[in-house]
Structure 1
């Protein structure tokens, strides 16, 4: 146990200012998401751009692709959340059958495709794990962009596997950040559930 603590402290000391900045912005992003605030997107884009550079240095290629996807989905989500032509913003809701089919396709087709890419075109030492973390997060980000409550479930599946993967690659602060995101996502799910219940009661009353 002491050796693990010593290793953690050693890696903590080696954390660069860029990693710290990415962690701070990442925490701010998920707190804004939990609060259902559109500012989560510009904050997340800034954190992701920093992460792209850092992940390239440790050869986590699927995570690299994932973060590129984050940027694209963040721009899409930012646009999707904003009121357009006097219409109300997209409401928090449960995913329907069609959205679940798309979600599962993203998870499993993405996992297979990423695995094949990592095995054939990169020097990845963890292709199965890296691909799974990324494909589940892809699905979670898609659901988040559409303001579906299940995004928290998919993102936490990704987080659960990402924590040991990042620690294995000596990105200790990213692992700590992911642990924080895992906890916040649990609260985020229940906060969004309260929003759905409240909006349903308002709809029934009107």
Structure 2
């Protein structure tokens, strides 16, 4: 059983295995803090994404690498966005997305996929089916991170979809630790959605903010 899950690591350097485990640990902390609406989601996420940018470049997974590079940039933006206050009240509390933001999310999704396809063609990386799934995941996760940085409840829906797709994908790619990470991510994301939805429903005037 152990050989089935971890035999591929015999070909990896000890340093890279250590980095992947470290990235997984910080990634789990980040998602947990996101569920709790805790600003530590961003510093822990930054550590995880920086490590994954390096590893994914080595693994030639360009879409995943761009996702993590984008996470890094959006973590800085989100860190700033979440700290903005109007007096003692958070200027941007947890909310549902507006119709305008749904259109913006769709545009981000489409533009992201177009961009990633061009990158894969440029580097001639469309060599297997992983690349096509990778392209789809990039679009899903780009939107999810954008919505999370804006503190929108629906961000969790994109994380759940992307995490479920990522579980078998990373296992087949041979990155077992990362695959296990996405199993935990999925569970936390489900609870995160329920928790944020409850907070949002208990906030006055949410229906007016959707307009």
Length-normalised TM-score, structure 1: 0.89
Equivalent residues in 2 for 1:8-157, closer than 5 Å? 8-11=5-8, 16-84=17-85, 86=87, 88-89=89-90, 90-125=92-127, 126-157=130-161
Q: Would you say how many aligned residue pairs link Structure 1 and Structure 2?
A: 198
The yes-or-no answer on 1:158 pairing with 2:159 is: no
Q: Which moved more, 1:106-115 or 1:121-130?
A: 121-130
Distance 2:87 2:187 in 1: 36
| Counterpart Cα distance in 2 of 1:59 and 1:86 | 47
What is the rounded CA distance, in whole Å, between the counterparts of 2:158 and 2:20 in structure 1? 24
Show CA shifts across 1:109-168 (max 9, x none). Answer: 211221222123243433211111111000000000000000000112211222222122
* SS, match of residue 84 in structure 2: coil
d(CA) in 2 for partners of 1:191, 1:32: 12
The Cα of 1:197 is off from its aligned counterpart by: 1.9
Q: Distance in 1 between matches of 2:58 and 2:40?
A: 29
Is 85-94 or 137-146 further displaced after alignment? Answer: 85-94
Q: TM-score, normalised by structure 2?
A: 0.87
- Supply the distance in 2 between the matched residues of 1:34 and 1:84 (Cα, whole angstroms): 20
Quote the RMSD (CA, aligned, Å).
1.9
Q: Distance in 2 between matches of 1:119 and 1:160?
A: 26
Aligned-residue offset at 1:12: 6.5
Structure 2: gaps spanning 5 or more residues: 206-211
